[in-house]
């Protein structure tokens, strides 16, 4: 059984907030977004409709990803996440991709703070992205500003106009509003903690990579 989110979520927020505040960030845009996030750091309230826990096939890799995360540079955050995992509702909201039709079995997302999460907040959404090994998450975009913290798995990450570059655990990655971005795992699963700010309602869409 998951722990009571009224007790576990504030603990997670404390650990995640301190991790962001103490991170040494050289990139000016990333540093500005970190500061904006911390100024709006969630003061969560009970979700209007508590989520019904749900797993997807990609969750078969969650235990392995969590083991990697607890041995990595963000281990305190991984430890704070652990009591909440059994209560999360994992989902995948995209339509079938013609080039990668099995993505619904290889990628999963779970809100922790948000309308579909354990608790809600109007300004910031927090959650997890989980990817199976050797998976290509195609180019996609959304209006929300997105900050990722890699918990486990050195995957390739790219934005429109740039090649894939490896991002190891502990990396902070910024996707500005509307920018196309993609990820690609190798032998390890990817587990990443995300923060959304700005337009929290518009869903992401895939972008034609050939274009």
pLDDT exceeding 90 applies to what percent of the chain?
91
Average pLDDT of span 161-174? 97
User: Residue 79's CB: how many other CB atoms inside 10 A?
Assistant: 15
pLDDT level of residue 1 (50, 70, 90 thresholds): very low
In whole numbers, what is the pLDDT of the chain averaged over residues?
Answer: 95
Across 44-53, 126-135, 201-210, the highest mean pLDDT is recorded for 126-135
pLDDT at 201 over 70: yes
Class of domain 5-206: mainly beta
Distance from C-alpha of 153 to C-alpha of 99, rounded to nearest angstrom: 24
Q: Which carries the bigger pLDDT value, residue 211 or residue 39? A: 39
User: Residue 209 has what pLDDT?
Assistant: 75
Domain coordinates in residue numbering, the chain: 5-206
What average pLDDT does range 52-58 have in this prediction? 97
- Ramachandran region of residue 31, left (φ > 0), alpha (ψ -120 to 50) or beta? alpha
Nearest to residue 195, comparing CAs of 133, 117, 83, 140?
Answer: 117
Cα atoms found within 13 Å of the Cα of residue 134, Cβ hemisphere only = 1
The Cβ of residue 62 has, within 10 Å, a number of other Cβ atoms equal to 22
Convert the pLDDT of each residue in 30-52 to its tens digit.
Answer: 999 999 999 999 999 998 888 99
Residue 169 has pLDDT above 90, yes or no: yes
């Amino acid at each position: 059984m998951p722990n009571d989110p009224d007790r576990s979520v504030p603990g997670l927020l404390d650990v995640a907030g301190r991790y962001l505040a103490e991170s040494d960030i050289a990139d000016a845009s990333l540093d500005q977004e970190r500061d904006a996030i911390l100024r709006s750091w969630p003061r969560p309230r009970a979700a209007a409709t508590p989520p019904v826990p749900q797993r997807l096939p990609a969750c078969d890799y969650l235990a392995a990803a969590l083991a990697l995360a607890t041995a990595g540079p963000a281990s305190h955050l991984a430890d704070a996440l652990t009591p909440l995992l059994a209560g999360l509702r994992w989902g995948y909201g995209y339509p079938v991709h013609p080039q990668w039709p099995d993505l619904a079995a290889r990628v999963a997302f779970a809100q922790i703070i948000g309308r579909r999460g354990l608790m809600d907040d109007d300004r910031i959404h927090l959650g997890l992205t989980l990817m199976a090994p050797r998976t290509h998450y195609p180019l996609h975009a959304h209006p929300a500003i997105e900050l990722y913290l890699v918990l486990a798995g050195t995957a390739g990450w790219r934005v429109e106009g740039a090649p894939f570059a490896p991002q190891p655990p502990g990396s902070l990655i910024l996707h500005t509003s509307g920018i196309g971005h993609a990820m690609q795992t190798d032998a390890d699963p990817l587990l990443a903690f995300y923060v959304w700010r700005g337009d929290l309602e518009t869903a992401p869409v895939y972008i034609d990579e050939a274009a």
